[in-house]
Copies of this chain bind each other. A is one copy, B any other.
Amino acid sequence: MIKPKQKSVSGRQASSAQVADDEASPAAAGTEVDLGYLNGLLGYALRRAQLAVFQDFIQNMKDFDLRPAQFSVLAIIAANPGLKQSRVSEALGINRANFVALLDELEKRKLARRAASPGDRRSNALYLTPKGESFLAEAYRHLQIHHERRLDELLGSADKQFLLSLLRKLSTLS
């Protein structure tokens, strides 16, 4: 079902590795820039891909004025209504001090709200407002149609699923 197409990926190692500097002939202007050691580095490929995908995400969420971090907060709260603030920030890997302003903004826009946590007066239980629920649902629908579908077309949806599984493995590092 999933056909890994390795066609244009070959010849990677051969391209650089030997760092011979002939200072007499500076790299030609019309030539393509050789990525050298970067060609094999997963971190580099990840960074470039993440930047490109986030750019597309941000572009698509322009009408919603929603950046990736904000979307992720709404999504977590929607899936776990009543979760306390520290657990939401922890789940997203966001420092809880920095999470305050992020949530302030969402609360100011009436998309989320802090509620008293029953049994612990220190913590806030977080909920989406009704407006937040429909807003998130619409944003998600828009993303599916415009953002994710575009990625499906670029990668093939089977390969995209496989990509997701590989990325999840990487997230478990240390």
Give A contacts to B, CB under 8 Å.
Answer: 2, 4-6, 8-9, 12, 16, 19, 21-23, 25-27, 29, 33-38, 40-57, 59, 68, 71-72, 75-76, 78-84, 87-88, 91, 93, 117-118, 125, 127-128, 133, 136-137, 140, 143, 147-148, 150-151, 154-155, 158-174
Asked if A127 and B21 sit within 8 Å, CB to CB, the answer is yes
Looking at chain A's contact residues, is the secondary structure mostly helix, strand, loop, or mixed?
Answer: helix
Docked-complex contact B68 and A43, CB < 8 angstroms? yes
Distance of A57 from chain B, by nearest CB (Å): 5
Contact: A161 with B9, CB < 8 Å?
yes
Asked if B170 and A52 make an inter-chain contact with CB atoms under 8 angstroms apart, the answer reads: yes
Q: Which of B33, B84, B163 contacts A166 (CB 8 A)?
A: B163
Interface contact B2-A35, CB-CB below 8 Å: no
Task: Note all chain B residues with C-beta closer than 8 A to A128.
Answer: 19, 21
Among A4, A35, A125, A170, max chain B CB count under 10 A is at A170
Q: How far is the CA of A54 from the CA of B43 in the complex (A)?
A: 6
11 chain-A/chain-B pairs, Cβ below 8 angstroms: A19-B78, A21-B81, A21-B133, A36-B75, A38-B76, A42-B53, A42-B164, A51-B93, A55-B173, A150-B173, A151-B170
Decide if B155 touches A169 in the complex (CB within 8 Å): yes
Bound complex: CA A21 to CA B134 (Å): 12
Q: Do the beta carbons of B52 and A164 come within 8 Å of each other? A: no
Our pick among B12, B52, B72, B172 for the contact of A44 (Cβ within 8 Å) is B72
- Kindly provide the distance from the CB of A37 to the nearest chain B CB, expressed in whole angstroms: 4
Contact B52 A171, beta carbon cutoff 8 Å: yes
CA distance A110 to B11 in the complex (A): 32
